[in-house]
């Protein structure tokens, strides 16, 4: 099993550009989520989804959009990148939020 | 607000010795789970151990064990016989499920150094 697959692993953007971070899982998990990790801040929840067609905001949702059209995929969109969004991004999935999360390998995103 | 606090930004331990990482949390729920995750320099997030709040027995996974004190809302991780491969960031996490939300809340982490 591939588990949770995140692409790309690294990306450099210019301020104002848009991009989509991809996340796919093959474990039929209902719960999927996106986190950003910044030094000294731990992992902060951006958005999450409890199933196809259902999404909700986390702790730091501003500047990010998500959608969940299928159980497998949960893309994260940056509509107009800002330097404050420079971070490492993790996607995770599980059957429920109370179950152990399976994490992707992360995406290191730099915005100049 | 539901929070998870790790009061030790950094810890160090000698190889083969024991170290305890602390975590406190704030919740009004009565039944919940608690997690410890490890993040080595490879950046992968790895589940170390899980505790179910309704179980009085502390969870144990090989050299890793927890000291769960529900009334004190404390969830510390004990690593016995520390090995060089235990060097990593350790995060405590709590799934918040109140008010219709389902959010996993992480502490800010403790960086563990293992000295040979």
d(CA A59, CA A8): 23
pLDDT in tens, A81-109: 999 999 999 999 999 888 889 999 999 99
Tell me the β-bridge partners of B11.
B112
pLDDT in tens, A8-58: 999 999 999 999 999 999 999 999 999 999 988 889 999 999 999 999 999
pLDDT of residue B114: 97
3-class secondary structure per residue, chain B: CCCEECCCCEEEEECCCCEEECCEECCCCCCCEEEEEEECCCCCCEEEEEEECCCCCCCEECCEEEEEECCCCEEEEEECCCCHHHCEEEEEEEEECHHHCCEEEECCCEEEEEEC
pLDDT of residue B101: 76
- What residues of chain B have any CB closer than 8 angstroms to a CB in chain A? 6, 9, 32-33, 35, 37, 43-45, 47, 50, 91, 95-97, 101-109
d(CA B84, CA B82): 7
The Cα angle at residue B72 between residues B64 and B20, in degrees rounded to 5: 30
Average pLDDT over residues B7-19: 97
**A2: three-class secondary structure by DSSP:** coil
> In the predicted model, is pLDDT for residue B2 greater than 70?
no
pLDDT of residue B115: 97
d(CA B53, CA B29): 10
> In the predicted model, is pLDDT for residue B1 greater than 60?
no
Residue from B1, B36, B90, B106 to probe the interface with A (highest A Cβ count within 10 Å) = B106
pLDDT of residue A4: 96
């Amino acid at each position: 099993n591939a588990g949770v697959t995140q692409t790309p692993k690294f990306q450099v953007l210019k301020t104002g550009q848009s991009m989509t971070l991809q996340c796919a899982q093959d474990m039929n998990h209902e719960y999927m989520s996106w986190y950003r990790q910044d030094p000294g801040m731990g992992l902060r929840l951006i958005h999450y989804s409890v199933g196809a067609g259902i999404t909700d905001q986390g702790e730091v949702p501003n500047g990010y959009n998500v959608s969940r059209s299928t159980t497998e995929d949960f893309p994260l969109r940056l509509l107009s990148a800002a330097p404050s969004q420079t971070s490492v991004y993790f996607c995770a999935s599980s059957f429920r939020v109370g179950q152990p999360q399976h994490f992707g390998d992360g995406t290191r995103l730099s915005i100049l | 607000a539901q929070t998870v606090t790790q009061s030790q930004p950094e810890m160090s331990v000698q190889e083969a010795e024991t170290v305890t990482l602390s975590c406190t949390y704030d919740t009004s729920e009565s039944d919940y789970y608690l997690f410890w995750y490890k993040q080595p320099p490879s950046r992968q997030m790895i589940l170390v151990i899980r505790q179910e709040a309704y179980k009085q027995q502390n969870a144990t996974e090989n050299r890793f064990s927890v000291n769960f004190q529900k009334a004190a809302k404390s969830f510390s991780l004990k690593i016995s016989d520390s090995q060089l491969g235990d060097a990593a960031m350790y995060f405590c996490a709590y799934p918040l499920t109140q008010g219709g939300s389902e959010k996993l809340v992480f502490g800010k982490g403790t960086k563990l150094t293992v000295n040979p």
